[in-house]
Amino acid sequence: MSSPDETINSLRDALQHSPENVPLRQHLADTLLSLGRGQEAEKEYRLALARSPESAAIKLGLATAFNYQQKNSEALVIVEDLIKDSNCPAKAHILYARLLLKAGDAERAVRQYKRAIEKDENAGDMELASRLGIGGSADRDVVDGKVRAAWEGDENESLAEIERPAVRFKDVGGMEALKEEIRLKIIHPLEHPELYKAYGKTVGGGILMYGPPGCGKTHLARATAGEINAGFIAVGINDVMDMWLGNSEKNLHRLFEQARRNKPCVLFFDEVDALAASRTDMRTSSARHLINQFLNELDGVQASNEGVLILAATNAPWHVDPAFRRPGRFDRILFVPPPDAPARSGILRIMLTGKPMADVDIDHVAKKTGDFSGADLKAVIDLTIENKLRDAMKTGVPAPITTKDLLTGAAAVRPSTKEWFSTARNYALYSNQGGTYDDILKYLKM
């Protein structure tokens, strides 16, 4: 029997004579890959792909070669393209699962792994399956030992940076009703707990804000912390999700503990639907564990949340598990609409403060920017300033911003809120239990 090196040498020899032979080159690349020689395999796959650009098997080989060399973003680009085709090889889903796990998205990794097995039950990879916690049956998605082991780390380890925001409510344009609700529901109870107790009002619970993107949910949460000189921890899905089973729950617990140690503190969950998705939508028990952990933390089962203000934001409130809406949890659900004309004037005024301006008619610009979110308005101003700077470079003289400049900027920015309403409208019409989304209907004048 020939040694691997001899095999490779004879394949290379054969290719010298027929460099156009794609199956032969692919065979060489596969052989190199099976020997762990990712870089050489990559080279051969590239040459094969140049001659046969549509081959899914060669693309998958190239992606695998990238993965061998830890060039994971290159691998991801190819795999994401491959799986668009429902007939792609089962192994493409396995590689995708591996890459997702590496990126910390264990939940999607499990889904991809299962899709691969549905396509071809022999496509499985024992080592990957065990890292994903996929056992013999659906109930064994979580390996007990792993979950317990994950809890053994240091609870006091800080996961997030604590910000001390300088922005206050005055820096948030419009949103008066929301500011008032936040004052009543979470700021006053924090500042005067004895008054609330005297009237038998329970303190606690958080606020869930929802609405189209870029309309100031995060900005308002940050300003809430600034308003009362509290710390601010912004939690995104990547701060919580971990490829190791049980670690996501631990991360969540640590974030709550960090907020409790640093009270008063605003703990803000952005895109909370990703962490608190409806349990009926969940296929894996690991995702359900995370939700139960989140509910326990909100309830203060293990430790009191006194002094911790909990705010969350989502663009898709309909995906949040209803259990989160019970008293003491996110029991206030507030709609954050796109800013109306007076709010837009307020936002523009705040954003233009300190900038060189001629006699700008801010109210007129506000009137002309219907459906613009706060983030869209920011884009308008950024663009206007860029244009002014470009002119100043030419003339050498910085000219003040005019109404016309702002309107030119606005004409170049597409308002982004309309798209959200086309989805929201359907939920508000057909899935509006308890009138949760009445505010959307009111906004749409329906």
- Binding status of residue 313 toward ligand ATP by CB under 6 A: yes
The one segment of 53-61, 83-91, 167-175, 228-236 that binds ligand ATP by CB under 6 A: 167-175
The nearer residue to ligand ATP, 213 or 328, going by C-beta atoms, is: 213
Element spanning 366, H or E: helix 362-367
Can residue 347 be called a binding residue for ligand ATP (CB under 6 A)?
yes
The residue assigned the tokens 């024992």 is 126
What is the per-residue binding string for ligand ATP in 266-285, x denoting contact by CB under 6 A?
----x---------------
Taking the least distance from each CB to ligand ATP, the nearer of 79 and 175 is: 175
Q: What is the rounded CA–CA span in Å between residue 50 and residue 199?
A: 76
Tokens matching residue 352: 């233009």
Q: Whole-angstrom Cα distance, residue 438 to residue 446?
A: 9
Determine, following the binding rule CB under 6 A, whether residue 349 of this chain makes contact with ligand ATP: no
Q: Does 405 bind ligand ATP (CB under 6 A)?
A: no
The radius of gyration computed from the CA coordinates of the chain, to the nearest angstrom, equals 27
Contacts for 51-59 with beta carbons within 8 Å, 24 or more apart? Answer: 51/20, 51/22, 51/25, 52/22, 55/22, 55/26, 56/82, 56/85, 56/88, 56/89, 56/92, 57/26, 57/89, 58/22, 58/26, 58/29
311 touching ligand ATP, by CB under 6 A: no
- For position 172 contacting ligand ATP by CB under 6 A, the verdict is yes
Looking at the Cβ atoms of 22 and 167, the one nearer to ligand ATP is 167
Q: Choose which of 61, 205, 374, 409 interacts with ligand ATP (CB under 6 A).
A: 374
Closest to ligand ATP by CB, 150 or 350? 350
Longest Cα–Cα distance in the chain? 92
Q: Which of 378, 402, 403, 427 binds ligand ATP (CB under 6 A)?
A: 378
Question: Residue 224 corresponds to which tokens in the numbers above?
Answer: 């809430």
Given the complex with ligand ATP, which of 29 and 380 has the nearer CB atom? 380
3-state secondary structure of 121: coil
What count of other Cβ atoms lies within 10 Å of the Cβ of residue 34?
Answer: 10
- Answer for which of 88, 95, 143, 215 binds ligand ATP (CB under 6 A) is 215
User: What span, in angstroms and rounded, lies between the C-alpha atoms of 272 and 290?
Assistant: 12
- For ligand ATP, give the closer residue by CB, 114 or 217: 217
Nearest residue (beta carbon) to ligand ATP: 374
Total of chain residues touching ligand ATP, rule CB under 6 A? 20
Q: Which residues bind ligand ATP (CB under 6 A)?
A: 172-175, 213-219, 270, 313, 315, 339, 347, 350, 374-375, 378
